[in-house]
Amino acid sequence: MLQLGQIDRADDKPPYRQIAGMLREAINSGQLTAGERVPSEAALSEHFGVARMTVRQAVQELRSEGLVVSEHGRGVFVRPAPPIRRLASDRFARRHRAEGKAAFTVEAEKSGYTPQVDNIAVTRETPNSAVAERLRLSEGDEVVVRSRRYLADGRPVETAVSYIPAAFARDTKIEQVDTGPGGIYARLEEAGHTLARFTEEVGARMPTPEERRVLQLAAGVPVLTVVRTAFDTDDVAVEVCDTVKAAPAYLLEYGFSAR
Amino acid sequence: MLQLGQIDRADDKPPYRQIAGMLREAINSGQLTAGERVPSEAALSEHFGVARMTVRQAVQELRSEGLVVSEHGRGVFVRPAPPIRRLASDRFARRHRAEGKAAFTVEAEKSGYTPQVDNIAVTRETPNSAVAERLRLSEGDEVVVRSRRYLADGRPVETAVSYIPAAFARDTKIEQVDTGPGGIYARLEEAGHTLARFTEEVGARMPTPEERRVLQLAAGVPVLTVVRTAFDTDDVAVEVCDTVKAAPAYLLEYGFSAR
DNA sequence: AAGTGGTCTAGACCACTTT
DNA sequence: AAGTGGTCTAGACCACTTG
């Protein structure tokens, strides 16, 4: 059974913080390991001699740090660290497309998980200003919007929305649900837009409730946002891809020169 | 005065979520703008006809999303969006060092804020395995550890810890608090380690309580982590720099080729 | 002094999971 | 049925900020 100290009523830190601190320490020191159940709120409330609401406040603090997740009717558990997926910036290299593989498939093979894509939707829309600016579109130009969700071993890890100028998608499979081997980048290259370079803008924030639902994120888990723009050999922006990734599941790798 | 609806007791969503939803909507729709005060807990509790604890739970939800911040004795305020600092990957270009400017100074000039560095500490330590591995050090090799905190217009935005193999720091200013114009990269180059390339590994997570304190982060604000490794022209790793950035204040920009 | 959020109590009923 | 977390009530006292 887990050993826990007692509250010091003389301490200026409020009881709920002291309790949170002791539980955090138990997790960090390995007394409570990943997946293990934290003592029930009733047990903690009795052990520390405080009201249940006070214990709940302590647990809430750990939840918001992402240290534990609670499951209704089962208990509170130490969050197991998900396998980290390293994304190297060569994942869009032409040699992969030449083999008919999309970027997500390439990563999956390298990291050894089962890739899956669902919730694919394709529409045609007038882009918002951020997308229009990146694609240097004129007022009224339309884009093909491809949204989808990626899963690794059945767990959602990322949502992505691609925006391709409608003019570039004409007479290609880009506007169909199945884009064929190598994905949209392969289709763009066949249409004469040989890809030359990409830029990525990386940020992080807390997810919206909608994103939490789609990515099945526990409370207190942030997301990484990556907006990628693809340019062809004429330095024309041919695609903007807006992705939202479950932060704990990713490590992004970039390289650049000192010149 | 802010217009708010009423709770629907027949709705399957609990009252506190309905209240959180209405407040979130008021913020997103612009009825409540950045910096503005949210109605007091007493006022909300009376308006909705619920106990104060129920209102607090709603506000807690918004706090954990980073939408609002509360100030003891003053009220709850819509969080103003901080100015975003875009970090381009040319910020370590040699031309900047040649002008005697460190990377942080370069960004500051471009973005128009006042840069500041404090909490500088320099020690000599045996590195942990992650650092030792990146620097390809042998058992027992020491590193010079330089830690500091960066502020923009007086607000903490980033902490950084650099690890430089002690062998490379010998007879340089690297082990002194003031490293001179152009910073440690300029000193490394003077010592014959001309820089060739960098790699960066980017992730995001919730901050530790210590990081929240040092970066003065409100509850529910994630951090971006960037681990940069610098290589010289012989492809020897000469520095590892571990940084933790307040996520809302940053957008990282990277470019790479399609080859 | 008045108003604000921070913390806490001692209950209650509910929904969910497991036995 | 028993145990778990989820939600809620109706109070209380405190610390902090402002007029």
- The CATH number given to whatever domain includes residue B123 is 3.40.1410.10
Q: How many Å apart are B203 CA and C17 C1'?
A: 35
**How many domains are contained in chain B?**
2
0.85 exceeded by pTM: no
Kindly state whether residue A3 falls inside one of the protein's structural domains: no
Question: A183 and A145, same structural domain?
Answer: yes
A113 and A201 together in one domain: yes
Quick check: is A67 in a domain? Answer: yes
Residue A258 domain-assigned (yes or no): no
Contacts of A62 in chain B (CB under 8 A): none
Distance between CA atoms of B110 and B105, rounded to whole angstroms? 9
Per-residue pLDDT of chain A (259 residues; tens, 9 = 90+): 688 889 988 888 889 989 998 999 898 888 898 888 999 999 999 999 999 999 999 999 888 777 888 888 999 999 877 666 677 777 787 777 777 777 788 777 777 777 888 889 999 999 988 899 999 998 889 999 999 999 887 778 899 999 999 999 888 888 888 888 878 898 999 999 999 999 999 999 988 877 888 888 877 789 999 999 999 999 999 999 999 999 988 899 999 888 7
A8 within domain boundaries: no
Q: Within this chain, do residues A114 and A221 fall inside the same structural domain, yes or no?
A: yes
Min distance A223 CA to chain B CA atoms (Å): 7
In a domain, A10, yes or no: no
Question: Where do runs of H (alpha helix) occur along chain A?
Answer: 15-28, 41-48, 52-64, 94-98, 103-111, 129-134, 166-169, 183-190, 209-214
* Cβ atoms of A38 and A68 closer than 8 Å: yes
B23 in the same domain as B113: no
Highest-confidence segment of A101-110, A147-156, B157-166, B209-218: B157-166
A132: in domain: yes
User: Where does a domain end: A40, A61, A78?
Assistant: A78
In chain A, count H helices and then E strands: 9, 11
List all residues 6 or more positions away from B97 whose beta carbon is below 8 Å from its beta carbon.
B182, B183, B185, B186, B189
Residue B82 has pLDDT above 70, yes or no: no
Query: Does residue A162 sit in the same domain as residue A229?
Result: yes
Chain A: give the shortest CA distance to residue B119, in Å: 25
Length of chain A (residues)? 259
Q: Are residues B189 and B237 in the same domain?
A: yes
Residue A136 in domain: yes
The C-alpha torsion from B143 through B146 and B147 to B150, rounded to 10°, is -140
B146 and B246 housed in the same domain: yes
Residue A155: CB less than 7 A from any atom in strand C: no
**Nearest nt to B59, CA vs C1'?**
C5
Residue ranges making up the domain that contains A32: 15-78
Q: Does A202 contact B252 at a Cβ distance shorter than 8 Å? A: yes
More confident residue, A120 or B83: A120
Answer yes or no: do B120 and B41 share one domain: no
Does any domain span residue A129? yes
Say which of B198, B201, B220 has its CB closest to residue A251.
B201
Buried b or exposed e, range A50-60, using 16+ CB within 10 angstroms = beeebbbbbbb
| Residues B25 and B102 placed together within one structural domain of the fold | no
Which of A22, A202, A251 should we substitute to test contact with B (largest number of B Cβ atoms within 10 Å)?
Answer: A202
End residue of a domain, out of A50, A78, A106: A78
Q: What is the CATH number of the domain that holds A58?
A: 1.10.10.10
Final residue of a domain: which of B60, B78, B96?
Answer: B78
Tell me if B200 and A90 make a contact (CB, 8 A cut-off). Answer: no
